[in-house]
Structure 1
Amino acid sequence: MPRSSARPTSTLPLGALPRLLSEAEAAAYLEISEITIKRIRARGEIAHVRIGRKTRYTEQHLLEYLTAQSVPSKELTREVGSHRPRPRAGNSPAEAFKLAHRILIEASDGAEQP
Structure 2
Amino acid sequence: MTLHPTNVTQKVRFIILYGSVAEERARTDSDIDLCIYYDGGREEAGRFRFAALSELSDDRYDIQIFTHLPLYVQIEVLRGRVLYCPDERFLYDIAYQTIRDFDDFKHRLYDYIGKEAMV
What's the TM-score once normalised by structure 1's chain length? 0.23
Give the greater-gyration-radius structure (CA). 1
What TM-score do the two structures reach when normalised by structure 2?
Answer: 0.23
- Higher relative contact order by CA 8 Å / sep ≥ 6: 1 or 2? 2
Higher strand share: 2
